[in-house]
């Protein structure tokens, strides 16, 4: 063999695109067929919204149900990002599946894209479920543009939590990942005002709320349903910074430690 002869050929663009799509499809199917993953993601925010947004908010009017639709929607979309990335990545690292995937002749970004699409699909399912409950049980009236804005906010807003979950998944073993992520997920949700409006929380929690990415996603979700008039750009920039920052940290950890 001549030393000038290439030892490998680049994959045609069509095959590269096909690899990305196939990995995304298989990742989505894998999780959609796992009731142990999907049911808690859908039922946990639905249960909260039924209790607080439908039953207890009847005495406070439609605005309370509308407000909690946005807040519990954010609470719901955080879960597939944190647990779909964090737990699965930690388990796949422990089992050697991540090393095996690296050896496969597929683009390295296909693995990441597949999990992102899975998380976005799961987040969309959560938002659609809560929208259905809000319109049928709580009699919340949203325009088509408001419902679409909330759905888009949830589908894209899951990405910073994907990056955070990915980073946590590079730090700890698979068995410890669920507990560690719960210690992040639940306190962050409470302290950013997702369970109760911020004015009901202690003063110091109101002051530190903007440090949590869930707070900024909540402000965008509230604006989507017509409850707040915050300028969206600062919140979008914070969420983008969180996504990029944790993604870079996770990529660095994976390069060093696998």
- pLDDT tens column, 37-62: 777 888 889 998 988 888 876 666 66
For range 206-217, the mean pLDDT: 95
- pLDDT tens column, 119-177: 898 899 999 999 999 999 988 899 999 999 999 999 999 999 999 999 998 888 878 88
Helix (H) or strand (E) holding 216: helix 213-224
Helix (H) or strand (E) holding 69: helix 62-95
Given this model, what pLDDT does residue 149 score? 96
Given this model, what pLDDT does residue 20 score? 72
Given this model, what pLDDT does residue 257 score? 66
Q: Say whether pLDDT at 5 is over 50.
A: no
Average pLDDT, the chain: 84
Q: Say whether pLDDT at 209 is over 90.
A: yes
How far apart (Å, rounded) are the C-alpha atoms in residues 53 and 75? 13
Token pair of 133 as six digits: 């409950």
Tell me the percentage of the chain whose pLDDT exceeds 90: 43
Residue with tokens 């109760």: 196
| Sign of the CA dihedral running 144, 150, 153, 158 | negative
Which long-range contacts link 190-197 to residues 24+ away (Cβ below 8 Å)?
Answer: 192/218, 193/71, 193/218, 194/71, 194/72, 194/74, 194/75, 194/218, 195/48, 195/52, 195/71, 195/75, 197/67, 197/71
Residue with tokens 């049911």: 39
Given this model, what pLDDT does residue 199 score? 86
Indicate the range of 36-40, 111-115, 238-242 predicted with least confidence.
36-40
Residues 76, 123: contact at Cβ < 8 Å?
Answer: yes
Given this model, what pLDDT does residue 101 score? 63
pLDDT band at 2 (very low <50, low <70, confident <90, very high): very low
Scored b (16 or more CB within 10 A) or e, 77-95 reads bbbbbbbbbbbbbbbbbee
For range 1-9, the mean pLDDT: 42
Q: Say whether pLDDT at 8 is over 60.
A: no
Residues 201, 79: contact at Cβ < 8 Å?
Answer: no
């Amino acid at each position: 063999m001549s030393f000038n002869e290439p030892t490998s050929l680049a994959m045609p663009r069509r095959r590269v695109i096909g690899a990305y799509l196939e990995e995304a499809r298989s990742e989505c199917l894998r999780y959609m067929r796992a009731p142990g993953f999907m049911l808690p993601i859908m039922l946990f925010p639905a249960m909260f919204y039924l209790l607080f947004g439908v039953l207890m908010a009847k005495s406070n009017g439609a605005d309370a149900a509308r407000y909690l639709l946005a807040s519990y929607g954010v609470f719901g979309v955080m879960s597939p990002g944190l647990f779909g990335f964090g737990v699965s990545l930690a388990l796949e690292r422990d089992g050697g599946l991540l090393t095996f995937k690296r050896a496969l002749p597929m683009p390295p970004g296909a693995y990441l894209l597949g999990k992102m699409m899975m998380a976005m699909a799961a987040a969309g399912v959560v938002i659609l479920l809560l929208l259905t409950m809000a319109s049928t049980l709580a009699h919340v009236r949203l325009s088509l543009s408001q419902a679409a804005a909330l759905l888009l906010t949830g589908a894209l807003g899951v990405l910073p939590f994907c990056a955070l979950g990915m980073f946590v998944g590079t730090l700890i073993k698979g068995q410890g990942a669920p507990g560690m992520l719960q210690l992040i997920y639940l306190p962050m949700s409470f302290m950013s005002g997702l369970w109760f409006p911020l004015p009901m929380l202690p003063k110091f929690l109101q002051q530190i709320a903007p440090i949590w990415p869930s707070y900024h996603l909540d402000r965008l979700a509230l604006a989507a349903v017509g409850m707040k008039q915050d300028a969206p750009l600062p919140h979008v920039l914070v969420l983008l910074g969180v996504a990029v920052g944790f993604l870079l940290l996770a990529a660095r950890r994976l390069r060093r430690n696998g």
